[in-house]
């Protein structure tokens, strides 16, 4: 039905990471690639890092190999400028290069007069880096984000906080939330009729720090209730809990693994970095019929209707009280899970945002 509007378009996606590896890319635009095909739109993805480089850059050590891959990525970006004319649209996710000033974006906009769409889903203008790449931090140039936004023709922000930031530098800002494919990916529901309820959390080792304040709550709950606490991540944390079980994150089994839990948690600190997050954990839980219990920070206030499709908790006592209620009441879990799933389908699914995404390329 969209073909007549979008026919004969060719889009270049400029990405930091290789295809199908980073959640940021997978749930911002990669899951719309089939939608583009259906609309008759051609596209190419040009990542800064190859799969081989991706396996090295975010690990400890390997300074010279990292340097080689970074330099190689910069050279590829400069070479790409010579073929930019064959694309109708350029879509840049987060940044064209993880280091240095926005040379690529400046040349694209100022010298080649090529309009581009800029998409971001975190408060990436704020200093935030992995410990294993501490030496690279001074090359990050966080201030370039405002410049990239100013150079762009159109901005796609993942939430209201990011949208307000972008509007300081560009008046053409569209809000498209991070979405879930409820038809092809998150298309199963958790079973709430289980003997032992599982409380779960999923995320990378960079965000696992947010669980620190939850450990005392879970330790108290262990004295009063039987449950299992599951962490699905790329790195095993050292939690001293008798209920703790670690599940290594695997792209092939992530939905099946996540659907084994009955309560999903998303604790956050109330910081600008956290306000820039797009609520992805809560979205995943709710799409699988899992009630989400989260901190009332940023977009969580928009996604979770407290007491209806999940709970918002501000302190130790509230976390314990709400988790206890959900542990004790399977009907409450099921009812909240159903309402959460319906909310995601209506507001945060690929289907609900498909036209808005396609309209970026009209």
Closest listed residue to residue 259, CA positions, set 200, 173, 195: 200
* C-alpha span between 289 and 291 (Å, rounded): 6
User: Are 7 and 75 in a shared domain?
Assistant: yes
Segment 281-303 shows an average pLDDT of 96
User: Are 172 and 201 in a shared domain?
Assistant: no
Return the SS3 of 298.
Answer: coil
What is the chain's mean pLDDT, rounded? 92
User: Are 38 and 124 in a shared domain?
Assistant: yes
Closest listed residue to residue 66, CA positions, set 127, 15, 131, 136: 136
User: Are 154 and 203 in a shared domain?
Assistant: no
Neighbouring CB atoms inside 10 A of 182's CB total 20
- Quote the pLDDT of residue 135: 58
Structural domain that includes position 261: 197-347
At residue 128 the predicted structure's pLDDT band, cuts being 50, 70 and 90, is: confident
> Using CA of residue 17, residue 20, residue 23, residue 24, what is the dihedral sign?
positive
- Number of compact structural domains in the chain: 2
User: Are 12 and 150 in a shared domain?
Assistant: yes
CATH code (residue 123):
3.40.50.2000
> Using CA of residue 56, residue 62, residue 65, residue 70, what is the dihedral sign?
positive
Starting from the edge strand earliest in sequence, which strands make up the sheet with 292-294, in order? 244-248, 227-233, 197-202, 263-266, 292-294, 310-312
Neighbouring CB atoms inside 10 A of 195's CB total 5
User: Are 168 and 288 in a shared domain?
Assistant: no
Straight-line distance from the first to the last Cα atom of the chain, in angstroms, rounded to the nearest whole number: 14
Q: DSSP letters of 192-206?
A: ---SSEEEEEE--TT
* C-alpha span between 30 and 36 (Å, rounded): 10
Is 8's pLDDT higher than 70?
no
- Quote the pLDDT of residue 1: 42
User: Are 130 and 207 in a shared domain?
Assistant: no
User: Are 315 and 166 in a shared domain?
Assistant: no
User: Considering 176, 206, 239, which residue would you say is the last residue of a domain?
Assistant: 176
> Using CA of residue 278, residue 280, residue 282, residue 283, what is the dihedral sign?
positive
User: Are 22 and 157 in a shared domain?
Assistant: yes
* C-alpha span between 186 and 196 (Å, rounded): 23
Provide, rounded to the nearest whole percent, the portion of the chain with pLDDT above 70: 95
Is 147's pLDDT higher than 60?
yes
Structure tokens at 326: 């959900």
* C-alpha span between 284 and 165 (Å, rounded): 26
User: Are 141 and 84 in a shared domain?
Assistant: yes
Q: What is the pTM of this model?
A: 0.91
Pairing state between β 42-47 and 10-15 = parallel
């Amino acid at each position: 039905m969209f073909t007549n509007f979008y026919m004969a378009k060719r889009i270049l996606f400029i990405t930091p990471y290789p295809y199908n590896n980073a959640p940021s890319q997978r749930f911002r635009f990669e899951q719309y690639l089939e939608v583009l095909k259906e609309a008759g739109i051609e596209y190419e993805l040009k990542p800064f890092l190859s799969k081989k480089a991706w396996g090295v850059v975010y690990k400890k050590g390997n300074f010279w190999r990292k340097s080689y891959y970074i330099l190689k990525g910069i050279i590829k970006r400069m070479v790409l400028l010579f073929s930019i004319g064959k694309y109708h649209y350029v879509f840049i996710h987060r940044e064209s290069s993880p280091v240095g000033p926005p040379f690529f974006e400046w040349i694209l906009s100022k010298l080649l007069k090529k309009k581009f769409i800029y998409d971001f889903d975190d408060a990436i203008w704020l200093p935030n880096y992995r410990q294993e790449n501490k030496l690279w931090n001074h090359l990050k140039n966080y201030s370039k984000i405002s410049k990239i936004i100013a150079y762009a023709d159109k901005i796609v922000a993942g939430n209201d906080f990011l949208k307000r930031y972008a509007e300081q530098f560009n008046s053409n800002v569209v809000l498209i939330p991070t979405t879930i494919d409820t038809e092809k990916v998150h298309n199963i529901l958790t079973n709430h009729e289980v003997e032992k309820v599982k409380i779960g959390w999923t995320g990378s080792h960079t965000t696992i720090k947010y669980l620190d304040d939850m450990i005392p709550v879970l330790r108290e709950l262990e004295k009063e209730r039987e449950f299992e606490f599951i962490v699905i991540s790329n790195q095993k944390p050292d939690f001293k809990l008798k209920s703790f079980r670690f599940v290594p994150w695997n792209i092939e089994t992530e939905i099946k693994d996540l659907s084994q839990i009955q309560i999903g948690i998303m604790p956050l600190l109330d910081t600008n970095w956290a306000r820039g997050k797009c609520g992805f954990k809560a979205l995943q839980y709710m799409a699988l019929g899992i009630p989400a219990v989260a901190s009332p920070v940023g977009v969580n206030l928009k996604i979770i209707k407290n007491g209806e499709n999940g709970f918002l908790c501000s302190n130790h006592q509230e976390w314990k009280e709400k988790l206890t209620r959900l542990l004790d009441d399977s009907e409450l879990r099921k009812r909240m899970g159903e309402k959460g799933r319906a909310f995601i389908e209506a507001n945060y699914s690929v289907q609900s945002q498909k036209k808005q995404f396609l309209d970026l390329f009209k």
